[in-house]
Amino acid sequence: MTPTLPFHSRRSPVYSLHGMVASSQPLATAAGVSILAQGGNAADAAVATAAALNVTEPASTGIGGDAFMLYYEAKTGIVHALNGSGRTPQALTLERIQAAGIQQQIPDHHPYAVTVPGACAAWCDTVQTLGKLCLPQVLAPAIRLAEEGFPVSPLSARSWRTAAEQVLASSPNGAELTLHGRGPADGELFRNPALAQTFRQVAEGGKAAFYQGTIAEKIMDTLQKAGGCMSEDDLATHQSTWELPISTSYRDWRIWECPPNGQGLTALIALNILEGFDLSELPALSTQRLHIEIEAMRLAFADTRRFIADPEHASIPVDELLSKAYAAQRRKEIFLERTNPDIQTGNPLAKSDTVYLSVVDGEGNACSFINSLYMGFGSGIVPSGSGFALHNRGCNFSLEETHPNCAAPMKRPYHTIIPALATRVRDGSLAACFGVMGGFMQPQGHMQVVSALLDDQLNPQAALDQPRFCIQQDLAHSEVLLEDGIALETMAQLAELGHRVTPVNGYRRGAFGRGQIILRDSDSGVLIAGSDPRGDGCAMPVV
């Protein structure tokens, strides 16, 4: 394996009439395609793909994590949103956290970072409410992959090996997800019979088998032995929530995101700000274009890092933040001749690690689905004999008592994972099912691919191939990662404008996320898909 990870090849967009699946692992994509071929719809295929990704990319995702979903229903034109994120244990108070000597942030691999995993309920609720097939059919491909084994893909193998050394080696039961203590090599077979058994129990017993049966006992027992405080009742009372999605118009499309506690709001605020600039007149990846986009994202992050929290515990001014008037106000803080070093949270009330997959079926239904453990293997804590790791979303809580996202019992944290959809403003028809995974890169990726698709008229594959920027979360200093492919002269000019720029190439390109896009032509129904070259995956049509 080359250490530099050069992008020497090219991909064409993939076309289909009868359905499409795009994910970061070819075997998982094939699992989703097989479900569509069996008569399943986009919801069924999305869950099948998500479960298969748990098998093939366990450092990134799994049933021990959280999930969010957007679903475009072709028959009605309605966009549904499902929040599959979990809550903190009832016993996890700020005082308890502080008594453990934790002051600034919950450590990444601490049992307090584990909130109730919401993915299983999200899978079951998606299939039951929107799908056409039964859960045993939907989970069958993933069960087969886990039981029989699969050859590990290159980038997944690399992250697996790193996590085996740095996380799993010292985590409770972490060795169960390794090969005698090491991560598998490229092309090496890995079997996970324990995960196959977990999936069988869920297939037969639904979400109750996960949150109330032996699986729940394994989760609770392992966490309590590690020093956590999750209880039987915390797991048994977990529920997904169906919510109204949020959206804004950008050019000819309406962009849809899940509402807070997710950060999709960040992408929409940034797009509202960008709408006031004629970006099509500025060459893609030019200094001025990148400067405007970076500043718009910095403004959006300044607002959402302040306001996004669990809406059951905080009042979030979503409508005001998404108003075009507020965007016009914020747009004035972008200086074309230099970066703005004083970007702060605005006043919207002045006037009052992860996998993403995309599925569109032959009927035009679309499922934008994202599932994550957050960091590599999440908390690293593995419930004994379960075959999966538990996520560490709780480390995203603030420990500042007055902050809306401050840790508290039965609370969902600020969440980074966000799926997206686009419909056409003129008639509400499906335009695109898309997403870009990768921590705080995600809203930045959404903004960049939407602009590439609409302002530059690129096809989905070209939009994903295009080099990206990634703002680091130190807003005061505006550090920006710039991907190999952006001209060195442009990087130098951005530095002259005041940006702290860092060139990035090789495996560090993972900082720019991995995306999937499926477009649907409103006249012909033709599907056009792309899959991110920064991952191992592909888009695959139904024949």
Q: Is 287 a catalytic residue?
A: no
DSSP sequence for 224-250: HHTT----HHHHHT---EEE--EEEEE
Supply 203's token pair: 């297939």
User: What is the CB-side half-sphere exposure of residue 415 using CA atoms within 13 A?
Assistant: 32
- Which pLDDT does position 348 carry in this prediction? 53
Contact of 409 with 399, CB cutoff 8 Å: no
DSSP one-letter code for 129: H
Residue in 196, 193, 172, 152 with CA at minimum distance from that of residue 59: 152
The 3-class secondary structure across 412-477, one letter per residue, is CCCECCCCEEEEECCCCCEEEEEEEECHHHHHHHHHHHHHHHHCCCCCHHHHHHCCCEEECCCCCC
Return all residues near 379 (Cβ < 8 A) that are at least 6 apart. 108, 109, 110, 111, 113, 114, 171, 389, 390, 391, 392
Active-site hit among 115, 126, 198, 354: 354
- Which pLDDT does position 351 carry in this prediction? 35
Q: What is the pTM of this model?
A: 0.95
What is the amino acid identity at position 93? T
Instruction: Work out the number of other CB atoms within 10 angstroms of the CB of residue 75.
Output: 8
Supply 38's token pair: 């069996």
The H-or-E segment that residue 287 falls in is helix 287-307
Angle (CA) 508-512-514 rounded to 5° is 105
Max Cα separation, the chain? Answer: 62
For the chain, what is the total number of helices (H) and then of strands (E)?
17, 19
Contact of 235 with 219, CB cutoff 8 Å: yes
CA distance 429 to 420: 15
- Which pLDDT does position 113 carry in this prediction? 97
What b/e readout covers 33-59, taking b as 16+ CB neighbours within 10 angstroms?
Answer: bbbbebebbbbbbbbbbbbbbbbbbbb
End-to-end Cα spacing for the chain: 33
- Which pLDDT does position 121 carry in this prediction? 98
What is the amino acid identity at position 334? I
> In angstroms, what CA-CA distances link 282 with 277, 287, 392, 452, 456?
9, 9, 41, 12, 9
DSSP one-letter code for 132: S
What is the amino acid identity at position 122? A
> In angstroms, what CA-CA distances link 258 with 326, 368, 470?
20, 11, 22
Q: Please list the helix, strand and coil fractions of the chain in percent, rounded to the nearest 5, in that order.
A: 40, 20, 45
Distance of CA 402 to the CA centre of its chain: 28
pLDDT tens-digit profile, the chain (543 residues): 445 667 777 889 999 999 999 999 999 999 999 999 999 999 999 999 999 999 999 999 999 999 999 999 999 999 999 999 999 999 999 999 999 999 989 999 999 999 999 999 999 999 999 999 999 999 999 999 999 999 999 999 999 999 999 999 999 999 999 999 999 999 999 999 999 999 999 999 999 999 999 999 999 999 999 999 999 999 999 999 999 999 999 999 999 999 999 999 999 999 999 999 999 999 999 999 999 999 999 999 999 988 999 999 999 999 999 999 999 999 999 999 999 988 876 555 433 368 899 999 999 999 999 999 999 999 999 999 999 999 999 999 999 999 999 999 999 999 999 999 999 999 999 999 999 998 899 999 999 999 999 999 999 999 999 999 999 865 545 689 999 999 999 999 999 999 999 999 988 898 999 999 999 999 999 999 999 999 999 999 999
- Which pLDDT does position 345 carry in this prediction? 65
Q: 528 in helix, strand or coil? A: strand
CA distance 419 to 434: 7
Q: What are the backbone angles phi and psi of residue 527, rounded to the nearest 5°?
A: -100, 140
Q: What are the backbone angles phi and psi of residue 390, rounded to the nearest 5°?
A: -95, 140
DSSP one-letter code for 398: B
Supply 394's token pair: 């709780």
DSSP one-letter code for 395: G
Q: 315 in helix, strand or coil? A: coil
- Which pLDDT does position 494 carry in this prediction? 97
Supply 195's token pair: 């995960």
